[in-house]
Amino acid sequence: AQTVTQSQPEMSVQEAETVTLSCTYDTSESDYYLFWYKQPPSRQMILVIRQEAYKQQNATENRFSVNFQKAAKSFSLKISDSQLGDAAMYFCAYRRFTGNQFYFGTGTSLTVIP
Amino acid sequence: EAGVAQSPRYKIIEKRQSVAFWCNPISGHATLYWYQQILGQGPKLLIQFQNNGVVDDSQLPKDRFSAERLKGVDSTLKIQPAKLEDSAVYLCASSLEPGPGELFFGEGSRLTVL
């Protein structure tokens, strides 16, 4: 099974600053999808951003962008102009191209300091 | 569009009792997942359905956990008898196939086993 590693259990950032959350994964597959999910306290998990492995261009969604390094099997999330509402657990997830299985990392708890 | 519905939101039981959780996925989503999320950890897949067939139940503790998805729509996850270590949030998610479908999560069912 694929493994997803998030080496930063906790991170903090000053409001309006930029923070980068790290994620690495282990796979022998060449085609797959990667996701970042956000889970606010006691609220449901929602998609932040996705990346198709066959695309070289890094995905961007407003203040959220990724740095996808396929050879290094690295998929980091950058949050620019951090806001108080960004405080949450962030999970990196790997999805197989076929079979549709998802594998999650252990999460990074992000604190935004006013 | 209605989201993934789960009930109950909270359940407290004594060990060795039984409990059942219900999930109704987004209309038209063929794939349904049950995840277990222990506090401070990432979601762990328990079982994955494609329509009403099981795709992956390799991590489901089959001596106490069971799940079904009759008619390929809503699903029920049962635990009998419950153990203390079953205390967790049980997340239901669904996805649309084919393509780079993201997971859509419900709000989760929080189980406390005393």
B42:A104 CB<8 A = yes
Q: Determine the Cα–Cα distance for residues A11 and B23; give it in Å rounded to an integer.
A: 33
Q: Determine the Cα–Cα distance for residues B37 and B87; give it in Å rounded to an integer.
A: 9
Angle at B20 between CA B18 and CA B24, to 5 degrees: 175
Q: Is A69 on the interface with B (CB under 8 A)?
A: no
CATH code of A67's domain? 2.60.40.10
At residue B100, the pLDDT reads 65
Task: Choose among A33, A95, A106: nearest Cβ to B41.
Answer: A106
Chain B residue with the nearest C-alpha to that of A33: B100
Chain A residue with the nearest C-alpha to that of B5: A44
**What is chain B's mean pLDDT, rounded?**
92
Q: What domains lie within chain B, and their CATH numbers?
A: 5-113 (2.60.40.10)
Q: What is the DSSP track for B47-112?
A: EEEETTEEEE-TTS-TTTEEEE-GGGS-EEEEESS--GGG-EEEEEEEE-SSSSPPPEE---EEEE
Contacts of A4 in chain B (CB under 8 A): 42
Q: Is B26 on the interface with A (CB under 8 A)?
A: no
Q: Is B68 on the interface with A (CB under 8 A)?
A: no
Contacts of A44 in chain B (CB under 8 A): 3, 105-108
pLDDT at position B26 over 90: yes
Instruction: Residue A72: give the domain boundaries.
Output: 3-113
Residues A37-56: pLDDT tens digits? 999 987 889 999 999 999 98
A47:B43 CB<8 A = no
Q: Is A44 on the interface with B (CB under 8 A)?
A: yes
A45:B33 CB<8 A = no
- Span B48-73, mean pLDDT? 92
Q: Where does the pLDDT of residue A2 fall: very low under 50, low under 70, confident under 90, or very high at 90 and above? A: confident
At residue B98, the pLDDT reads 62
- Span B57-77, mean pLDDT? 93
Number of domains observed in the structure of chain A: 1
